Amino acid sequence: MPRTSCLSFAPRLIVFAALCALATSQAHAQVTKPFKVKGGGVAPEGLRPPGEVTTHLIDGTATHLGRHTGDASFDIYSLAPMSPTTLGGTFGSHDPCVFVAANGDELVCYYGRPDEGAADFGTFEITILDITAEGFLVDAFFIAEFVVQPESTGRFAGATGSWIMYAQTEPFVLSSDDPVAYTWEGDGILTLPK
């Protein structure tokens, strides 16, 4: 009787060992590394109000990505006075943010979107610097978590991870359609397939 039990148990043990070996090989097939990005770009149509989409172009350098370009867009979800000279609110990606490496590999992310993996919505502050004949001269500071998406390609196919990005605009006239330049930088981690 014990011999029969052992024989029926043996195939299950072999399957279990094979699954453990597969899980171990898959875990070793990935590597987690620090990720740093720096650059900037321009919002060609300025910072759009709530209900409209702000688009922005990307140009910079990053670890594992190198020199890159790209584009993205975001929505302002909330906007309210914080003080007599400051407005604040929340924002997040409208469409995926795509970083394109020189060889065409794409690192695809969403930012400030809890429904796409971020811990919370992105936040921003707009500070009034001056009042001019054209309107309020302001600058804006944005913070958001960028989360890698499965649509990434090339060396980033199968990648996961996230980073916190800090962006600062140049001064611009609030509610203007003029382009708004910005710089940004961030750091976090990426888990890449080997």
Residue 22 clears pLDDT 60, i.e. is over it: no
d(CA 99, CA 161): 14
What are the structure tokens assigned to 108, written together? 């695809």
What would the pLDDT profile of 132-180 be if each residue is shown by its tens digit? 999 999 999 999 999 999 999 999 999 999 999 999 999 999 999 999 9
Mean pLDDT of 87-96: 98
- Please tell me whether residue 115 adopts helix, strand or coil conformation: helix
DSSP 25-46: HHHHTEEEEEEEEEEEEEETT-
Mean pLDDT of 85-108: 97
Residue 28: the pLDDT is 52
Q: Cα–chain-centroid distance for residue 4?
A: 56
Helices (H), the chain: 2-28
What would the pLDDT profile of 60-76 be if each residue is shown by its tens digit? 999 999 999 999 999 99
**Of 27-36, 120-129, 160-169, minimum mean pLDDT range:** 27-36
Residue 23 clears pLDDT 80, i.e. is over it: no
* Tokens 């080997």, located at residue: 194
The C-alpha torsion from 42 through 36 and 121 to 41, rounded to 10°, is 0
Residue 29 clears pLDDT 90, i.e. is over it: no
- Please tell me whether residue 6 adopts helix, strand or coil conformation: helix
Residue 102 clears pLDDT 70, i.e. is over it: yes
Mean pLDDT of 101-111: 97
What are residue 179's phi and psi, to 5 degrees?
Answer: -60, 145
Average pLDDT score, the chain: 89
Q: Give me the count of residues in the chain.
A: 194
Task: Give me the percent of the chain exceeding a pLDDT of 70.
Answer: 86
Question: 174: which strand partners?
Answer: none
